[in-house]
A = this chain, B = another copy of it.
Amino acid sequence: MIKPDKPTLVLNEEQCRKNIHKMAEKARKYQLNFRPHLKTAQSLAVAEWFREEGVDKITVASLQMAEYFADGGWKDITVAFPVNVNEIERINRLIQKTEQLQLLADEGSEIERLSDELKGNVNLYVKIDCGTARTGFDPDDKVAISEMLSVIQKSSSLNFKGFLAHAGHSYSCRSAADVLEVHERTKKMMLDLKTYYIAEYPDLKISLGDTPTCSLAEDWSGVDEIRPGNFTFYDLMQYNIGSCRLDEIAVSMLCPVVSKHKRRNELVIYGGAVHFSKDSIQLNRVQCFGLVRKYEDKNLPQSANFVKALSQEHGIISCTDNFFDAVSVGDFVEVFPIHSCLSADAMGAYTDFNGRKYDHFGSQLR
C-alpha cells in the first residue's frame, strides 16, 4: 500500500471495471449503443477497460480531449459540446484522425461557417434541451429545429445524425423515483421528436445519457444510444442522488493529516480546493466536501467524519471522538470526493493502491 507524501488520487481498478461492466451489460440488455463519456476518466488506460467490454465509440467534452483520444487510437468520437467553430483547425485535424466524428448543433451554432471551413465530413447531432436549461433547442420549437435541419441539409460536408440530450437536471433529484420521472419526461420529448422527423430522416438516432438515469432506469424503448460518464467512478453526488452505493465509488484521495485540533474535534489535511475542486453536497443538512475514512480501513466511511471546508491547499475534517483519537498527524486519510470528474481533472493523474500509475489527459494542455 502506497504512502504518498502529498494528496494522491487513487483509482480502484477492480471497482472501476465492475462499474464499466455493469453499465455495458445494461446497454447490451436493452440493445443500446454504448458510447461512454470519457470526460470523467479522461484516461486512455481506463478507455481500454471499456474496449475490453466491446466499446469502440466514445463521447468527450471538448475538442482537445477528442484529440487526446484520437491520438490514442479511438476512431469514433462524439464531442458533446456545442460546436465552437473558432476551433476549426482542431476540427479539421480530428477529421483526419477519426473515422466518425460527431459534433453538436445548438441554437445559434455557426453551421454555415462550419460547413464553409470544413475539410472533410462530420456528423451533426442537434442538441435538445430536455429540461436542464443549459444548451439545446426547445423540443416544442419545431420551427427552429426544422430551420437548423435545413441548414444542415444544404451542406455536402454535414450529415444529420439525430437528436441528443443530456438530462442534467437529474442531478437535482434526491430519490430514484425522481430520477425515473426525469427519465420518462426526457424520453417522451425525444421519442416525440423521433416520431415527428423519422419520415424525413429515417436513420435519425436518439442519444441520451447522464449517470443518474442510466444507472436507475430500466425502460429504454425507442432510445438508440446512451452516453453516461460519471458512473465510471461514481462519487458522493451520485450517492446522494441514489445512483450508486458508497462501495461503488472507485476513486478516493489519499491525504496526509497535518494537524489536530482537539477543542473542535477537527483534523487538518493536506488536500484542498486545488485537489478536489469545490463542489459540495448537503448531507444531513450540513455542507460536505467529502467523506473520510482511515487509510486501510475496510469499512465504509461514516457520515459523521467529513470534510467540512476546503481552502486552497487545506481541508478541514469534522469527526467523531473515536475517529479523532484513532488518527495521528502523519497518518493518511482516504477522502471520497463529491464530484469525481472535477477531482480527477484537478489532479490530472491517478495511481492505484500499489503505486501503479494511469495516464490522464488532465489539465496539462490547458
Residues of chain A at the chain B interface (Cβ within 8 Å): 3-7, 39, 61-62, 64, 81-87, 89-90, 106-110, 113, 129, 133-135, 138, 168, 256, 258-264, 266, 268, 270, 273-275, 277-279, 309, 311-314, 316, 328-330, 341-342, 345-349, 362-364, 366
- Number of copies of this chain in the oligomer? 2
What are 18 A-B pairs at a CB distance below 8 A?
A3-B86, A6-B84, A61-B312, A61-B313, A81-B270, A81-B314, A86-B330, A107-B260, A109-B259, A113-B330, A133-B316, A134-B309, A138-B263, A273-B277, A274-B342, A278-B278, A348-B364, A362-B363
User: How far does the alpha carbon of A315 sit from the alpha carbon of B117 in the complex, in Å?
Assistant: 26
Chain B residues, CB < 8 A from A349: 366
B362 touches A86 (CB 8 A): no
Q: Enumerate chain B residues within 8 angstroms of A39, measured Cβ to Cβ.
A: 312-313
In the complex, chain B residues whose CB is within 8 Å of the CB of A109? 258-259, 329
Q: How far is the CA of A259 from the CA of B82 in the complex (A)?
A: 7
What residue of chain B has the Cβ atom nearest to residue A313's Cβ?
Answer: B61
Q: Which residues of B contact A133 (CB under 8 A)?
A: 264, 266, 316
Given contacts A6-B62, A107-B260, A273-B342, could you give 11 more A-B pairs where the C-beta distance is less than 8 Å?
Answer: A4-B86, A6-B87, A82-B258, A84-B270, A86-B256, A134-B316, A135-B314, A277-B277, A278-B278, A348-B366, A362-B363
